[in-house]
Amino acid sequence: MLKRFLSSTIICVLSWTTSMANNPVQTASHIRTVQLHKKGWSMSQPIINLYPSEQLTLSFDDFAYESKNYQYRIIHCTSDWEESNLMQTEYIDGFMPNSVDDYQYSFNTTFDYIHYQLDFPNEDIKLKLSGNYIIKIFELGREDEPVLIRPFYVTESMVSILPRIKFTSNSNFRGSMQEVNFTILHPNFRINNPREELKVVLQQNGRWDNQIDNLKPLFIRNEELDYTYNRENLFDGGNEYRWLDIRSTRFAPEHVSEISFFDPHYHFTLFPDKLMGRKPYFYREDFNGRYYVDVKENRDPVIEADYVYVHFRLPVQAPFVDGHIYVTGGLNDWQLNSNNRMEYNFNTHMYELTLLLKQGFYNYQYHFLEQGHTKAEVERFEGSFVQTENDYIIYVYYRSVGDNYERLIGVNISNSIKHSLSK
């Protein structure tokens, strides 16, 4: 069955080019469950300090029967994810490419896969500069055909970032949007022309499509830069993420209507999801879109967690002609493409999608992308509430006239509830 599945799947190996269009995530179809995080902290963002040096862990599954000679290369990028005009020796201490040698075969699973893991920086390479980076994985001799690309960040922590996440003062969006103001303090870091030398990027949870990257300081004081807007820094509050528990193939948890076994694979059919936009806000603790791999019937989820088919269903009376619906979250790196786009079933009057997921606990949402747009709409199916708990990441980049690359001089991760969301 696995052979038939792989042969019927168009295995599109995606090449990395010099322009990422602010979204460098790419994955070949035979690569699954790619995770990149701080070593020992699986739910963290892929952000590390340059000094003191920290490590990241990259892991992924390859649907294959035999191991491959995978190599990796790390590339320094601009804040827009274009390759920097730097020599490798300027930002790496060591030689590349290097091998990915840590791998294990899956055990007692219906899908055969090989789990790879890499910790870096390591004894082979050290990072010398801050900024945006990508790591790409490829087979030996096929560097121009990477099987996966993932971004990560290295910060110098030269400035302090003080966030203020609040109800917006704009009355038109007061019930549905969150205002992200902040101040940058730089008493020990000289910035001569902050409007030209600095670039700030704001992200909500892990989303790429709605990030804000064009803010300039409104007020410049002595060693203090103030970013207090009332429109340009607004994010849809959205809603708490829906959850999916597929850790057990024996017992159906809440939201799962049926677990079926069609030899040799498992299928999880979910109850039709409800439209949350028409309901009042209700706090539900979530992971802000992230997920973790786990299995109840076995001991080692890394290689004993199986892959199962999950059938999503969203009731809609008639199909939309002005755009598409996507199931999104950390389960697909918040991508909006054909792999997670739902199709309308005229017989059931529902949008439907089947995803192949590794056993674990997942967050997800339904987003609508209008034709001709790049930013997805969350309110149509999830609702948008100012009370919603979200994580916000603020990246501060610096480049003076004489610099030949952008330094990442500060990063702040803030939670809308923990940072006193208030009127």
Condensed to tens digits (0 to 9), the pLDDT of residues 177-234 reads 999 999 999 999 999 999 999 999 999 999 999 999 989 999 999 999 999 998 899 9
pTM > 0.85: yes or no: yes
Residue 155, pLDDT score = 98
**Look-up of token digits 């294959």:** 64
> Domain ranges in the chain?
2-155, 160-237+387-415, 242-382
3-state helix, strand, coil in the chain (%, to 5): 10, 45, 50
Q: Extract the tokens encoding 21.
A: 């269009």
Residue 268: which of 382, 366, 367, 360 has the closest Cα?
Answer: 360
CB 394 within 8 A of CB 414: yes
CB 359 within 8 A of CB 294: yes
Please work out, in degrees rounded to the nearest 5, the angle formed at the alpha carbon of residue 123 by the alpha carbons of 127 and 147. 70
Q: Extract the tokens encoding 155.
A: 């910060």
The mean predicted confidence, pLDDT, of the chain is 92
CATH number 1.10.287 given to 2-155: no
Same fold, 2-155 and 160-237+387-415: yes
Residue 14, pLDDT score = 40
CA atoms of 108 and 104, how far apart (whole Å) = 13
30 class by beta-carbon count within 10 Å (0-12 exposed, 13-18 middle, 19+ buried): middle
Residue 420, pLDDT score = 54
In CATH, the number for domain 160-237+387-415 is 2.60.40
Residues of the chain falling short of pLDDT 50: 1-21, 421, 423
